[in-house]
Amino acid sequence: MIILTHSKFETIFLVLNLLLCHLASAQWNKILTHDAFPEHKIKLKEPHLCDKTVQQYSGYLDVNNGKHLFFWFFESRNNPKEDPVVLWINGGPGTTSLLGLYFELGPCSINSEGNGTIFNPYSWNNNSSMIFLDQPTYTGYSYGGDDVSDTLTAALDVYAFLQIFFQEFHNYAKLDFHLAGESFGGQFLPAIAFDINKYNHNHDSIRNIVHINLESILIGNGMMNPLVQFKYFPDMACNSSYGPVLNHSTCNQLRKDCKKLIKLVKKCYDLKNAIDCMNVIYYRDDKMYQPYRIAGKNFRDIRKPCNYTYSNESIACYPELKNIKKYSNREDVKTELGINSSFVFHAKNLTIYYNFGYSGSWISPSDIYISSLLESNIRVLIYAGDADYGCNWLGIDAWTKVFHWSGTEGFNKANITPWITASGNYSGEFRTFKGFTFLRIFESGHFVPHDQPVSSLDFFNRWIFKKDF
């Protein structure tokens, strides 16, 4: 049985401990507020970690003294007065965005001893200023308040954060702004972008707000619509360009089980019952993922083995991730970032994961938000490493074709075009129409910027500066 909440005693003890830790933490450089968001404020520090060549800010968005969302900002290495601003959010739900920072696309990675950092020459902050945000609460360094279990509630806090941040740093507010993330970011990012776009066009609803120049969203190996995407587990496992990963009999059983999985997804969509929606997650984990575990394969990258005897599944497949936890829990690092030394950092919170499942927010489509963005001329890039199984490119490609918006027909008629990087490498294929682009990336699993750092920086820079692939 999975325990979804702490006992009352544990909860009270945890909240009191964290509040005391927060009050006792290092002095903040500045406290930021906004008249339109009286229950929100930002506590700000200026750390000197990871990339000492750029201006940094870190701290917390405090929400009515209950919720505390951690963020870390890095200015562009190139031209921060003109380069775009990008907010990166990891998925999960409940996975820290420091995974994206340290493991994928941030200014540095963690060394093999877990006691220092290594400069990342392929960081996305080469030509953009980056914000990494841990949300919802109890993700990464974030804590406090009631457990958030749906994307809409999470989106409102992010919008308040951006308003306070841009009011203070109005030089960044004048620049193009992009939202980027992966996995469950396929749910988080469209909801956040929808709020930004809505309030940009309805200033009377909130006074004195900053117009956020939302230019696009970028979703990597995202979960946009399980009803469409889950149908392609058998094809990815047994008929991908990398060859079959599972044996013939397992593949036959997988196809049978997948039909039932789709029926469970439909039931969740129709009834939105907590038990029905959680049954989807349990069944998918048991019938679609478990064969990979038994075969010793990494379902985030079917090209690689994974030793599932390790208790933490992520670390089992990517042992280097343990160094992120080790480094993030160093007392000197936490002090520099404004985190109390007694705070224990966790890269992934399964309680959040399952709470989103019970709310029905995990098994739901984000189509309506993405459609609204495209109709407002906000560009959408869907990219996918083609060796990922869990959020596989076959299902994502299929979704882009049936996803309904005014450009559906035009998108499906558009040619599939080779993507040649600036260095001359044939790194993938893309299809694009009126601001909607799907990019398949060769030889990459779930964590594209980690697996293909040079190529990922190439497509990222082309996208944010509106250049052709």
pLDDT confidence of residue 430? 97
8: Cβ–Cβ under 8 A, 6 or more apart, which residues? none
Sheet containing strand 417-420, edge to edge, reads: 30-33, 40-45, 56-63, 67-74, 129-133, 85-89, 177-182, 214-220, 379-385, 436-441, 426-433, 417-420
Q: Which residues pair with 42 in a beta bridge?
A: 32, 61
Token pair of 155, please?
A: 């989106």
pLDDT band with cut points at 50, 70 and 90 for residue 203: low
Say yes or no to pLDDT of 65 above 90.
Answer: no
pLDDT confidence of residue 311? 57
| Mean pLDDT, range 75-94, rounded to an integer | 94
- The residue annotated as part of the active site, out of 134, 386, 388, 458, is 388
Q: Which amino acid is at 206?
A: I
pLDDT confidence of residue 8? 38
- The residue annotated as part of the active site, out of 361, 446, 455, 458, is 446
Task: Specify whether the CB–CB gap between 380 and 186 falls below 8 A.
Answer: no
Domains of the chain, each with CATH number or no CATH: 8-227+363-464 (3.40.50.1820), 229-319 (1.10.287.410)
Q: How far apart are CA 147 and CA 371, in angstroms?
A: 29
pLDDT confidence of residue 445? 96
Active site residue 97: no
pLDDT confidence of residue 156? 82
Q: How far apart are CA 460 and CA 381, in angstroms?
A: 10
Task: Specify whether the CB–CB gap between 96 and 134 falls below 8 A.
Answer: yes
Active site residue 444: no
Q: Which of 62-71, 202-211, 226-235 has the lowest mean pLDDT?
A: 202-211
Q: Give the per-residue SS3 of 16-39.
A: HHHHHHHHHCCCCCEEEECCCCCC
Q: Where are the beta strands (DSSP E) in 267-311?
A: 297-298, 301-305
pLDDT band with cut points at 50, 70 and 90 for residue 160: very high
**Top-confidence residue, 149 or 326:** 326
Q: Which amino acid is at 279?
A: N
Say yes or no to pLDDT of 14 above 70.
Answer: no
CA nearest to 22, candidates 337, 239, 322 = 337
**Torsion (CA) 22, 26, 27, 33 in degrees, nearest 10:** -40
Active site residue 48: no
- The residue annotated as part of the active site, out of 58, 142, 183, 364, is 183
CA nearest to 49, candidates 337, 342, 324 = 337
Q: How far apart are CA 324 and CA 50, in angstroms?
A: 12
Say yes or no to pLDDT of 399 above 50.
Answer: yes
